[in-house]
């Protein structure tokens, strides 16, 4: 059901409060031509109601010549902020940025965060924001799982569909998303509720099988036939299957960059209010489909860039692929079995 402006503003007040916004803070709302004007207005109104100093930064839209599709994750790296030093300095001056435009995977975002500025991304439809309102309990659940992932030195993923994947861990940090930005230099995304890390370079090996009902992002499609990915020394080497495998092969080959095949972040969903089925109820241009990334118990793996944690793969092609029904083991101990979270510290709220 549609969310009113009053409700959306109240929702933003709660999330900005969780993000430590008060009258001592400055809040910048970053927008472009394609930003949802309802979200922009509600963010501005909510920050003012909390007494913060509020200002807007509006940038012209930017479309890279090689980008395909409207999804904001379909081409990574370059954004409307690229090369605009004056606008970047204006954003660095804020305590918190509400990003309605999408800076993720850009070097400009990395630099802004290094100054201590916090960033909250909000690009999903208001109705999705309402259903997956972040809570302190979400933070507790995700952080508890993060402590387990930080200690792990190996991950293994298997499934009845045929997945048999393994990697070593420890080279890269663990990243959490729980829906609000409450610490200096923190980036988060409303809505969310998951965690991830990256395999040690060259360590990812085995097979990942996309089964019927799994999801391909940014295509925003449910898999209708099995697709098998063979992974060697950290990279996808072969893609088998029917039409969907051919489509995936051609899409990745389009970028003419061997780095697109690298295994990027890997982790699992911890958000009970996110729904596997939600993607089918929205137009493909409605946000980023965070339901698919965060739904409880999924194994989410990605391909492409890893520069956000100090890696060297700077490539524009980034796939997020959540799988259902997997077993996930850290150092041989299960945290997810058959798509259900079994680690006691990460139980449903």
The order of strands in the sheet holding 154-159 is 235-241, 227-232, 205-210, 164-168, 154-159, 326-330, 333-337, 340-341
Is residue 219 assigned to a domain? yes
100, two tokens: 């309605």
Nearest Cα neighbor of 124 from 292, 308, 301, 296 is 292
Phi-psi region of 153 (alpha: psi -120 to 50; beta: other; left: phi over 0): alpha
- Residue 1 above 80 pLDDT? no
Domains contained in the chain, number:
2
Residues 161 and 213 in one domain: yes
Query: So what's the pLDDT on residue 348?
Result: 60
Residue where one domain finishes, among candidates 62, 92, 123:
123
Is residue 128 assigned to a domain? no
Contacts of 243 (CB under 8 A, 6+ apart): 225
pLDDT in tens, 255-266: 999 999 999 999
The neighbouring-strand residues paired with 208 are 229
Mean pLDDT of the chain: 95
Query: So what's the pLDDT on residue 346?
Result: 58
Q: In which element (H, E) is residue 168 found?
A: strand 164-168
Q: pLDDT: is 330 or 347 the higher one?
A: 330
- Residue 65 above 60 pLDDT? yes
pLDDT in tens, 2-37: 899 999 999 999 999 999 999 999 999 999 999 999
Residue where one domain finishes, among candidates 67, 93, 123:
123
C-alpha 322/C-alpha 266 separation (Å) is: 10
Contacts of 49 (CB under 8 A, 6+ apart): 9, 13
Q: What is the CATH number of the domain that holds 88?
A: 3.40.50.2300
CA 77 remoteness from chain centre: 15
Residues 11 and 110 in one domain: yes
Is residue 129 assigned to a domain? no
Is residue 225 assigned to a domain? yes
17, two tokens: 């409060």
> What is the residue range of 223's domain?
134-346
Residues 211 and 114 in one domain: no
- What is the per-residue DSSP string for 328-342? EEETTEEEEETTEE-
Residues 146 and 198 in one domain: yes
- What is the per-residue DSSP string for 274-321? --GGGGGGS-TTSS--HHHHHBTT-EEEEES--GGGT-S---S--EEE
Query: So what's the pLDDT on residue 78?
Result: 84
Query: So what's the pLDDT on residue 218?
Result: 94
pLDDT in tens, 81-127: 999 999 999 999 999 999 999 998 888 999 999 999 999 999 999 99
Is residue 184 assigned to a domain? yes
Residues 75 and 152 in one domain: no
Residues 111 and 170 in one domain: no
Residues 149 and 281 in one domain: yes
Is residue 277 assigned to a domain? yes
Is residue 19 assigned to a domain? yes
Q: Could you give the 3-state DSSP secondary structure of residue 267?
A: strand
Residues 157 and 247 in one domain: yes
The neighbouring-strand residues paired with 295 are 271
For the chain, how many residues are written?
349
Residues 106 and 184 in one domain: no
The band of 74, judged by pLDDT with boundaries at 50, 70 and 90, is confident
Residues 173 and 264 in one domain: yes
The residue to which tokens 């913060």 are assigned? 52
Neighbours of 94 (CB within 10 A): 24
92, two tokens: 């660095």
Residues 53 and 34 in one domain: yes
Is residue 331 assigned to a domain? yes
Residue where one domain finishes, among candidates 78, 99, 123:
123
Query: So what's the pLDDT on residue 16?
Result: 98
- Residue 59 above 80 pLDDT? yes
Residues 194 and 332 in one domain: yes
Locate all alpha helices (DSSP H) within the chain, ordered by sequence: 5-18, 37-49, 85-92, 107-114, 126-131, 136-151, 243-253, 290-294
């Amino acid at each position: 059901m549609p969310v009113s402006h009053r409700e959306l503003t109240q929702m933003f007040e709660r999330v900005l409060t969780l993000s430590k916004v008060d009258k001592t803070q400055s809040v910048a709302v970053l927008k472009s031509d394609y930003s949802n004007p309802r979200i922009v207005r509600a963010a501005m109104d909510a920050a003012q109601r909390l007494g913060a100093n509020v200002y807007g930064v509006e940038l012209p839209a930017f479309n890279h010549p090689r980008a395909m599709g409207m999804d904001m994750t379909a081409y990574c790296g370059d954004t409307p902020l690229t090369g605009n030093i004056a606008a970047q300095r204006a954003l660095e001056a804020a305590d918190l940025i509400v990003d309605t435009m999408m800076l993720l995977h850009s070097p400009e975002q990395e630099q802004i965060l290094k100054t201590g500025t916090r960033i909250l991304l909000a690009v999903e439809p208001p109705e999705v924001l309402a259903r997956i309102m972040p809570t302190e309990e979400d933070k507790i659940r995700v952080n508890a799982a993060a402590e387990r992932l930080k200690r792990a030195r190996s991950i293994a993923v298997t499934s009845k569909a045929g997945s048999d994947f393994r990697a070593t861990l420890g080279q890269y940090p663990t990243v959490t998303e729980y829906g609000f930005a409450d610490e200096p230099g923190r980036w988060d995304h409303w809505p969310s509720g998951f965690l991830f890390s990256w395999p040690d370079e060259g360590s990812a090996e085995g097979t990942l099988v996309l089964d019927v009902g799994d999801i391909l992002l940014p295509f925003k499609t449910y898999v209708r036939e099995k697709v098998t990915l063979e992974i060697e020394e950290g990279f996808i080497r072969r893609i088998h299957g029917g039409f969907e495998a051919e489509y995936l092969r051609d899409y990745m080959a389009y970028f003419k960059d061997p780095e697109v095949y690298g295994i990027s972040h890997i982790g699992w969903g911890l958000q009970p209010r996110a729904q596997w089925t939600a993607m089918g109820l929205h137009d493909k241009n409605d946000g980023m489909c965070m339901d698919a990334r965060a739904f409880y118990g999924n194994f989410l793996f990605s391909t492409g860039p890893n520069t956000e944690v100090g890696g060297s793969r700077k490539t524009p092609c980034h796939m997020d692929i959540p799988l259902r029904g997997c077993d996930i083991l850290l150092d041989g101990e299960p945290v997810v079995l058959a798509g259900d979270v079994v680690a006691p510290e990460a139980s449903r709220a």
